[in-house]
Amino acid sequence: MAILNIVTFPEPSLRLKAKQVTKFDTELQTLVDNMFETLRAAPGVGLAAPQIGESLRLVVVEYTEDEDENAKPKKYVLVNPEIIKRSEEMVTDVEGCLSLPGLAGRVERHQAVTVKAKNRFGKPLKIEAQDWLARIFQHEIDHLDGVLYIDRAEEVFELTPEEAEQITD
């Protein structure tokens, strides 16, 4: 596996709509593995293919809802994801992004979403997510459409180095 280069703003490719994944081959499997390796090294909780310079509708997420630091995080691979249901309830919280190092912003998002996608092998899946996981999915799927959290933020602010370690993509 390899750690890939994360593209940072204002790189124009971050503003493009990513292409649908059509082949579930060994090249895609390697890319997924490398994206997880890159995500852990960053570190972050989510990474979209456009953030590593690949125009593909592909997202990886590694996240645990458990406060126990020994809890095993759950891994998600979303290929060609689409939000098919959104809660009416909105929640504002702070987000950061691996492609916008040193910054964070207050962003309003749906409290819950249902995402339809394919897994890394092309099998259909549907995930109902709430709270922080729903926020992560919305943030990462935005990347696939060339949208950054700063486009939705009520305010954006610079982080101290200590704060930056606490807030990741």
Over the chain (169 residues), the average pLDDT of each successive run of 10 is 94 96 98 98 96 98 80 94 98 97 96 98 98 97 98 93 64
Residue holding tokens 């998002």? 109
In a domain, 116, yes or no: yes
140, 154, 155, 165: which one is catalytic?
140
H runs (alpha helix) in the chain: 26-41, 131-144, 149-152, 161-166
State whether residue 70 is helix, strand or coil.
coil
Res 68: pLDDT: 67
Residue 65 known to be catalytic? no
In a domain, 55, yes or no: yes
In a domain, 127, yes or no: yes
Number of domains in the chain: 1
**Residue 157 and residue 167 in contact, taking contact as beta carbons nearer than 8 Å:** no
In a domain, 2, yes or no: no
- Going by their DSSP bridges, the two strands 74-86 and 58-63 should be labelled as antiparallel
Res 168: pLDDT: 52
In a domain, 4, yes or no: no
In a domain, 5, yes or no: no
Res 33: pLDDT: 98
In a domain, 6, yes or no: no
Res 48: pLDDT: 98
In a domain, 3, yes or no: no
Q: How many CB atoms lie within 10 A of CB 158?
A: 9
> Could you tell me the CATH number of the domain that includes residue 65?
3.90.45.10
**Residue 118 and residue 80 in contact, taking contact as beta carbons nearer than 8 Å:** yes
State whether residue 44 is helix, strand or coil.
coil
Cα separation of 99 and 30, whole Å? 22
Cα separation of 146 and 137, whole Å? 14
Domain that holds residue 150: 12-166
